[in-house]
Structure 1
Amino acid sequence: MSSTARRPLARLGVAAVSVGLVTTVAAPTATAAPSPDALIAEVYGGGGNSGATLTSDFVELANAGAAAVPLDGWSVQYLSSGATGSWQVTPLIGALPAGGRYLVAEAKGAGGTVELPAPDATGAIPLSGTAGIVALVNSTTALTCKTPTDCGADPRVRDLVGYGSAAKVFETAPTANLSNTTSAARAALTDTDDNATDFPTGAPSPTNSKGETPGDGGPPPVVARIHEVQGTTRLSPFDGKRVTGVTGVVTAVRAFGSARGFWFQDTAPDADPATSEGLFAFTGSTTPAVAVGDAVSVTGTVDEYYPDASPTASVQQSTTELTGATWTVASSGNPLPAAEVLGPDTVPTAYAPSPGGSIEPLTLDPAAFALDFWESREGMRVRVDDARFVSPTSDYNEIWVTTKPTQNRSARGGTVYTGYDQPNSGRVQVQSLIPFAQRPFPQGNVGDVLSGTTAGPVDFSSFGGYVIQATELGELESNGLKPEVTRAKRTGELAIATYNVENLSPVDTQAKFDRLASVVVTNLAAPDVLSLEEIQDNTGPADDGVVAADQTLTRFTDAIAAAGGPRYQWRLIDPVDGADGGQPGGNIRVAFLFNPARVSFVDRPSGTATTPVEVVKGRFPLQARLSVSPGRIAPADPAWNSSRKPLVGEFSFRGRPVFVIANHFNSKGGDQPLSGRNQPPVRSSETQRTAQAALVNDFAKKILAVDPLANVVALGDFNDYQFSPALARLTDGRALRTLIDTLPVNERYSYVFEGNSQVLDHILTSPFILKPDYDVVHINAEFADQASDHDPQVVRFHPTSIPWPNG
């Protein structure tokens, strides 16, 4: 499972369970004997930074001994991770109580919302949020040591922690890297002189000598029930406040990753359908000491956790949870609340209210909207039986299933995305809380079924969307989905295809090249012309100034020939380094492959990355030509900033000219998610795609203005739907028609995202390409085992334009 860094606070106390992180580093180590009493207990340097909850950095001390340790004349000292510069000093006063804590506040940042509890000492050292070196010293004179050996030999050093892998001074091995939302804290008050072992990472949990934690010293905790904590909107009325006496039965435990904790559910619900009876208690990287069936009473701070950013910057929805949680177990082995069964009609068809902004303040209406339904069950047990996959299993062991088997069902078992007003409310993600060693996660394809019961609490995914955290998983039942094979071209037909080969470069394995080649030869029946998207340069993602891709294409065409296909030739224009977006250093571009035994490429040289291709009149009436071939459409236009420029080529098939425009429009990065806090979501990226579509449409019109019968094919990864403004602009004036609309609705898809089978790839043709035979060849998007995440497409037709000599 994948998890993002956590923002909320969580306690890593004496009773916490160590995650047992051990790192061996072959380097000199500190040699001081482990301290029997005064210790560094926790280090945090992200205070006040972006995404942080706490406003200040801190160092927390602890006393493992039976007697107080006087701290007058002592100090906490800090050195940068690279052991450069000088040690910075914060003097200490008072005493470290036996078995107690001592909080040293350091530099305060501009961000965060929660102050430290009253510190026992205060300094102004700006600790690094990721890696550094902290020492507890029985002197206020700055240390001079810069190596583990020298620091270990200095008798003034009572304890030392190198946190983060970049730290050059440490005991045996440094801790894992920290962040603005994580600290390094001792899981128990023992000192093994191994920082990696002693200091697992988790949410910061500062405690002062009075035992106060953030929020203490203010109003006393409020006794509350779970449904009172959850409230009737998406945000808890207790957000940021301490609550106590929150009771329920533990229904699930997450015992892995950096987002550990447990779900518990009230067995005596209220009568309000808008309030959830489930809640998550977050414990960071510490496995909570509870078991399913325990009746617990929990105290903690209520927090709205956003998975993607700070509350002000997030576009996702939040999860209401308890942080800094402590609890008591009243009894064990209790029956769990019954999981709500999700039938075809349980989740509303309407997806979300549409206020034109945030839906967070709105009172939940779970009978009217799917997002409100899921939010009103946040943390509660639900159950879906015989759930059909509407996505393949991802690399992160996640699947999307549907609770509405008939909702926009595709011809092969998926759920088709048919419009912005049809986001398919039956979709829900499934992850697993069952250890994979005990139950491997099902590896399935679209149309497969989790036979039997899948049940668990409702959560909101770190990557967006509601998810069932399964404590019970159905058995995988295969639907027998097979990759498609398109038919062979017939006499007189020209076959043109498009395929996004997903960042192909020489750094990829030969197996990837061979598999993609097999697709071209077998599944696509060796098309005459092939537009390739995401061809990377010869060094792949290495950002080294290389832009040529001849090695990439040589290796690919060799693999196609070895698979029994034709000996393709290629044409492309190398981009300006770093100008076309995509994976940094990769310089992705579009390229043509063509079979010279079937079709000729009309070469008109002098086209460069910055040369705009123009349409010119030939020597004969109605003869259209390209000024350069291949050429790029308006490469200097701002519409193509950090995006791939279309590649235009002039081909000749049986003497008839064919103009092919290969495209890869800008991505959807930056668009707000379907399940996010803003409804309807803002699709900011489509403005650029619409501008790109206008340029391609205008270029096609220029060809048709010279030759109304011209064969023009625009194809590729347009990164947008057939119902989008970009596609509407691309087809403006009927210069081009999109062929996906000629298919039955249940076959209109080339990509699967979050359980929606949708269209990102297209082939469009000019008006006088008559009776084109079009096929989306489903071989990737629906399968857990993919050669690419896109399905290729092919069109076959008989060119009808006037044959011209290539002059």
Structure 2
Amino acid sequence: MPSKSSARLAALTVAAVCSAAATFQLIVAPAPAHADSVRIHDIQGTTRISPYAGQKVTDVPGIVTGVRTYGSSKGFWMQDPNADDNPATSEGVFVFTSSAPKVAVGDSVTVTGTVSEYVPGGASSGNQSVTEIGKPAVTVVSSGNAVPAPVVVDANSVPAQYAPAGDTAASGSVNALPLQPSTYALDYYESLEGMNVQVADARVVTGTDPYSELWVTVKPHEHRNRRGGTVYGSYDSQNTGRLQIQSLGATAAFPVANVGDTLAGTTTGPLDYNQYGGYTLVAGQMGTLKQGGLQRETTRKQSRGQLAVATYNVENLDPSDTTFAAHAAAIVNNLQSPDIVSLEEIQDDNGATDDGTVDATQTVTKLIDAIVAAGGPKYDWRSIDPVNDQDGGEPGGNIRQVFLFNPQRVSFTDRAGGDSTTAVGVTKVHGKAALTASPGRIDPASDAWKSSRKPLAGEFVFRGRTVFVIANHFASKGGDQGLTSQYQPPVRSSETQRHLQATEVNSFVKDILKVQKNADVIALGDMNDFEFSGTATILEGDGALWSAIKSLPRSERYTYDYQGNEQVLDQILISPSIRRAHTFAYDSVHINSEFHDQISDHDPQVLRFRP
């Protein structure tokens, strides 16, 4: 998952976006049979695509249930109070007016306009479409009418299966498949598209984000962990109860929540679909926030004979940021001043300014000074500047991995020759493995690292024992289809590059172990992939490495919270000598991912062991 999503910051006017801009896709279906009076359920039909798509409809009746007057998605939702007897056909629809609509909730209206299927994010996103009526002529028949009672969405109504397999004849799309709302969760939500829905006493499973959004679950026991979140444990075990919540009211009044809080009472509004999470309850009535009291975690201090090694994605840190003191406090207090810290997303000295600057001395020094001010050790550091604009991330930022180490506890073995374009190798010195350059980068010319961060390898010595540490930041998941995609299962196109990267790192670790079978090797960082993924399987190979997060109970395996799915993106993998010793302890220290006031979107991890 990308950090500080600049694409979203640029594209998002409001989170639920329906517009006639470049992201509009019109899906035309065959003409329906003639009907004297077209109702909303006729327009919605029994699949995801309206049988009236691309056609004009006349005097469609409904009661206004919600009005959106902001952003590029101005319009209103209306619902037919006289439902048919088919649970697959929605009784609600969005009317896209493009300007602030002149209707109010409770108005009885008739609408004449053209039916379309709008795909949020454009066809290339793979997202499902939203059925809507555009270019409308709206007649208000009466006002002050009762709004149709909301459909209650709860643990009993949402099916346990997530989605049907896509139609192979349609390249895996579910668009043409008849909806089965009693069998599949995505079909159930689709059958309610545009309708007034309600959740009650829903547990919050994300912190409120900067866009005034949060996620709840309507299934309190679905993969719950002890801190109140919902864990994502496999591709075949989706969390069907997750639902995004936005508000039709002022964002200033939006609940500021953490994981484990509750939206007490009822939250009611139309069910929308957007490109940043899929099905979304856009609340006209918001529940009352009941705080769960979640606290940030603190790991145990390493003993004198233990080496503590941590990884921490500090999210595009540059000298202009205001988070240095907070990051320093987290490293000193929550992580207990690890002996070695692998930092990801350290930017150059002028951040996103794209002027050729690649040096990050100011960035790192400012963090080290903040750590000292917080009562921590005076860390030393090693890194290699990237070639300008070659390692991906925020344009101009030149993110890279950096080793911090406490010279009072551990020493760094410096070997000249490491630079941005020279590949580090493995050699034998006095019968033991050694790096040809320290620090050095793993095969930086390989296509595996194109527009991506190159791994940083370093040689450390703790109490006379050499430890090889490889700092990684693999290619992001950007470009993957979302879990609510029209293509099921969604295509994970980004993992192709991560598989190549994992192969490179695994091969390098094997080179070390061929020279010294019992070498202590740690590969760590933001792997941008799950502990059960193909990337992790390749990294581990035939036993060269093992992801230490798997030493934790399944309910505690997460470092990141994406759309209410708590998941593993950051990992620390260890060589057989460390694993066999049975003296290691692993901790994912939850200080960020569950909180609205996070200083990074990643939680750091710490490994303690005796080399």
Q: Structure 1-normalised TM-score?
A: 0.71
CA distance in 1, matches of 2:36, 2:418: 72
- What letter is aligned with 1:593? L
Question: What amino acid is aligned across from residue 266 of structure 2 in structure 1?
Answer: T
Secondary structure, aligned partner of 2:303: coil
1:228 aligns with 2:42: yes
| 1:478 correspondence with 2:296 | no
Task: Find the aligned partners of 1:542 and 1:517 in 2 and give their Cα distance.
Answer: 24
The residue type paired with residue 426 of structure 1 is G
TM-superposed CA distance for 1:52, in Å, is 6.2
Conserved in 1, the CA contact under 8 Å of 2:425 and 2:436? yes
More helix by share: 2
**Would the aligned equivalents of 1:260 and 1:283 in 2 still touch at CA under 8 Å?**
yes
Check the 8 A contact 2:470/2:524 in 1, yes or no: yes
How high is the TM-score relative to the length of structure 2? Answer: 0.94
Contact 1:5–1:258 (Cα < 8 Å) also in 2: no
Partner of 2:504: 695
| Counterpart Cα distance in 1 of 2:409 and 2:251 | 52
- Counterpart amino acid of residue 498 in structure 1: T
Corresponding position: 1:657 with 2:466: yes
1:736 aligns with 2:545: yes
Cα distance change, pair 705–340 in 1 and its aligned pair in 2 (3 A): same
Partner residue in 2 for 1:351: 162
In the aligned structure 1, how far is the partner of 2:272 from the partner of 2:459?
53
Q: Tell me how large the CA RMSD over aligned residues is.
A: 1.8
Task: Point out the more displaced range, 291-300 or 710-719.
Answer: 291-300
Report the residue type matching 2:331 in the other structure.
V
Q: Deviations over 1:657-712 (max 9, x none)?
A: 00001000000111111111111111011111011111111111111112111111
Cα offset, 1:425, TM superposition: 0.7
With over 3 angstroms needed to count, the CA separation of the structure-2 counterparts of 1:7 and 1:450, relative to structure 1, is: closer
Encode CA deviations 1:520-556: one digit per residue, 9 max, x unaligned.
Answer: 1000000000000001111100111111111111111
Unaligned runs of 5+ in 2: 1-11
Q: Is the 1:737–1:764 Cα contact (8 Å) retained in structure 2?
A: yes
- Aligned residue for 1:412? 227
Distance 2:210 2:18 in 1: 25
Distance 1:436 1:702 in 2: 54
Do the aligned partners of residues 221 and 569 (structure 1) sit closer, same or farther apart at CA in structure 2, a change above 3 Å counting? farther
2:497 equivalent to 1:685: no
1:401 aligns with 2:211: no
> Does structure 2 retain, via aligned residues, the 8 Å contact 1:644–1:664?
yes
Query: Does structure 2 retain, via aligned residues, the 8 Å contact 1:664–1:718?
Result: yes
What corresponds to 1:317 in structure 2?
128
Q: Do structure 1's residue 456 and structure 2's residue 251 form an aligned pair?
A: no
Partner Cα distance (1:260, 1:385) in 2: 27
Are the counterparts in 1 of residues 24 and 118 from structure 2 also a CA contact under 8 Å? Answer: no
Change (3 A) 1:475 1:504: same
Secondary structure of the 1:458 match is strand
Equivalent position SS for 2:189: helix
Alignment CA distance shift 1:320-1:788 (3 Å)? same
Within 5 Å, which residues of 2 pair with 1:208-607?
A: 223-284=37-98, 286-309=99-122, 311=123, 313-355=124-166, 356=168, 357-436=172-251, 440-509=253-322, 512-607=323-418
Map of 1:626 onto structure 2: 435
Against the structure 1 CA distance between its residues 734 and 249, is the aligned structure 2 distance closer, same or farther, given a 3 Å change threshold?
same
Alpha-carbon offset, residue 741 of structure 1: 0.8
Could you say if the C-alpha distance between residues 52 and 427 of structure 1 is closer, same or farther in structure 2, counting changes exceeding 3 Å?
closer
For 2:437 and 2:327, locate their aligned partners in 1 and report how far apart those are by CA, in whole Å. 30
1:795 to 603, 607, 611: 607
Larger radius of gyration: 1
Return the letter of the residue paired with 1:635: P
Q: How far, CA to CA, are the matches of 1:652 and 1:504 in structure 2?
A: 28
Determine whether 1:644 maps to 2:458. no
Structure with higher RCO (Cα < 8 A, 6+ apart): 2
Instruction: Decide whether the 8 Å contact of 2:65 with 2:105 is kept in 1.
Output: yes
Could you tell me how far apart the structure 2 residues matched to 1:568 and 1:318 are? 52
Give 3-state SS (helix, strand or coil) of 2:451's partner.
coil
Structure 1 residue 382, shift from structure 2 partner: 1.1
- CA distance, structure 1, for counterparts of residue 213 and residue 17 of structure 2: 20
Question: Are 2:277 and 2:563, in contact at CA under 8 Å, matched by a contact in 1?
Answer: no
**Aligned amino acid, residue 739 of structure 1:** A
1-structure distance, mates of 2:499, 2:24: 37
Q: Is the 8 A contact 2:17 2:275 kept in 1?
A: no
**Residue identity in the other structure for 1:541:** A
Name the CA distance, whole Å, in 1 between partners of 2:547 and 2:424.
23
Partners of 2:15 and 2:211 within 8 A in 1: no
Unaligned runs of 5+ in 1: 10-45, 54-111, 115-218, 800-807
How many angstroms apart in 2 are the aligned matches of 1:679 and 1:533?
33
Name the CA distance, whole Å, in 1 between partners of 2:127 and 2:36. Answer: 28
One-letter amino acid of the structure 1 residue matched with residue 227 of structure 2: R
Which whole-Å CA distance do the structure 2 matches of 1:579 and 1:707 have between them?
Answer: 33
Letter of the structure 2 residue corresponding to residue 245 of structure 1: D
Query: Structure 1: how far apart are the matches of 2:564 and 2:571?
Result: 20
Post-superposition offset of 1:221: 11
Aligned residue identity for 1:690:
H
Spell out the pairing of 1:3-22 with structure 2 (5 A cutoff). 3=14
Answering whether residue 603 of structure 2 is matched by residue 779 of structure 1, we say no
Question: C-alpha separation between the residues in 2 aligned to 1:250 and 1:52?
Answer: 24
